[in-house]
Structure 1
Amino acid sequence: METKNVAPYDEVHIEPFAYAISLINGKWKMHILFWLWKKEVMRYNEIKKALGKVTHKMLSSQLKELEQDGLLIRNEYPQVPPKVEYSLSEMGKSFMPVLQEICRWGHEHISR
């Protein structure tokens, strides 16, 4: 019986990692998730103010992608002027232990 040589990377299943990274990949997505984790519900202008130098186009794009990917919920209220609030979805909340560990790691290593 002949045994094939299998390269180490052939045994690695990259798909779950690639999927997770695709959801949070973007300059502002992790920042948006962080602020929604801390504040629970935020309006567009509150998010923009919290992020600082993000452009309107970039913030709108990142919010739409996070909503399409199921990480946040956009609630629009039928009133004048329009009122829109963002919050984490259940899927977004399930990511918070990962974000918390990133914050913990950052806290432990920030002074180095």
Structure 2
Amino acid sequence: MDYTCPVAEHGEMEVVQRFTGTHFTGDEKYYRVAYCPKCGIYHFVVSMEAAVSSGVNCFSFRVELTADEAREMLAVMAEESDPDRIEQYLERFDQNSVDRRAIIEDEYERWVSSEQ
């Protein structure tokens, strides 16, 4: 997935850190920290596809990070020896930032029929 800066003319952001966790449904949940070199802002990007009874539900959103949040998040994600700690940190940040989410793909129901 390409991550574009909210400022359209800035184009694609650089993914500087990534982590794959597990959603409570058992599906993979993708966490990324993306950086726009033109505006100097980091974004926390979360996406996943969840298998549900009638198909697959997809969503993606981002949260603009403060400099302190970005520094802390990147430091935690760089500590690869403890993936449980990383996932707990990212999940907690995700839950505490619900009001700051900017939807990339509107948790829309892009249903892929499971009957195919």
TM, length-normalised to structure 1: 0.27
Larger radius of gyration: 1
Question: Which structure has the highest strand share of the two?
Answer: 2
TM, length-normalised to structure 2: 0.26
Question: Which structure has the highest helix share of the two?
Answer: 1
